[in-house]
């Protein structure tokens, strides 16, 4: 939260500049931005109904999706929304372990959709020379490698195997049961992919409409590539709402 505030304070210094930008905005496109934002909640509702082991009323799912957007503003990596969705499914009568495993599958489906769209837009942007894309600097790659090797060493030690791998195996076994049950319900899996795709595309086109609303000329390919890459980093960043990333 302190890092988020540190990032935001310089922005507050130019509030008058923000208001000047609002005066010149294309308000028809601002309305389009709001519509795409609303679109994402319908996608999240579809994912929630598909993931929940018990029947859920569509309006209740929509209310939970809207609520999740508030708690995600103050919690890192969307953990608030995950907790809220799991609690809702539990209160609706679903088994907690099964609900958690199904939500994990739902998150995986959304992640696959996100990576697929990110790959397509980055290839599109590079082909159109929309922006110059570079891999991370070598020190960052080395740092990631050191963390990976360190984690592997911990799991190889007896303490790591007994204290860490044991609970992981139990959770994985429960999760696998959830995956197996969903394998017999392809319609639910399809709805999870659909919901995740709607959320991703809703935010992407909403951002593009916002860029156009304020006079930006950045291409859709570049906006899509930057948004999809940035939001993926934001999910991993330990900052409220992915702020900073």
Residues of the chain predicted below pLDDT 70: 1-15, 76-78, 130-144, 155, 159-168, 170-175, 177-179, 235-245
The pTM assigned to this predicted structure is 0.74
Q: Check if the beta carbon of residue 205 is closer than 8 Å to that of residue 34.
A: no
pLDDT in tens, 169-219: 766 666 676 667 777 778 888 898 899 999 999 999 999 999 999 988 889
CA angle at 83 for the pair 147 and 148, rounded to the nearest 5°: 10
73 vs 63: CA distance, rounded Å? 16
* Torsion, Cα of 230, 234, 237, 238 (10° steps): 160
The encoded tokens of residue 4 equal 């988020």
């Amino acid at each position: 939260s302190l890092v988020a505030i540190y990032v935001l304070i310089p922005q507050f210094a130019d509030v008058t500049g923000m208001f000047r930008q609002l005066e010149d905005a294309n308000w028809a496109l601002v309305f389009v931005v709001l519509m795409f934002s609303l679109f994402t909640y319908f996608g999240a509702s579809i994912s929630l109904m598909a993931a929940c082991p018990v029947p859920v009323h569509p309006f209740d799912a929509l209310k939970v999706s809207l609520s999740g957007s508030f708690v995600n503003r103050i919690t890192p990596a969307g953990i608030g929304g995950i907790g809220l969705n799991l609690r809702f499914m539990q209160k609706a009568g679903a088994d907690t372990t099964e609900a958690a495993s199904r939500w994990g599958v739902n998150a995986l489906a959304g992640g696959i959709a996100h990576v697929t769209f990110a790959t397509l837009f980055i290839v599109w942007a590079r082909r159109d020379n929309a922006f110059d894309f570079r891999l991370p600097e070598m020190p960052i790659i080395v740092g990631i490698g050191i963390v990976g090797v360190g984690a592997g060493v911990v799991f190889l030690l007896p303490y790591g195997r007994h204290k860490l791998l044991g609970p992981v195996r139990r959770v994985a076994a429960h999760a696998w049961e959830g995956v197996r049950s969903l394998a017999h319900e392809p319609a639910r899996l399809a709805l999870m992919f659909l919901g995740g795709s709607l959320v991703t595309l809703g935010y992407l086109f909403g951002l593009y409409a916002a860029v156009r609303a304020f006079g930006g000329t950045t291409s859709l390919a570049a906006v899509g590539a930057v948004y999809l890459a940035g939001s993926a980093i934001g999910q991993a960043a330990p900052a409220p709402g992915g702020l900073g990333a």
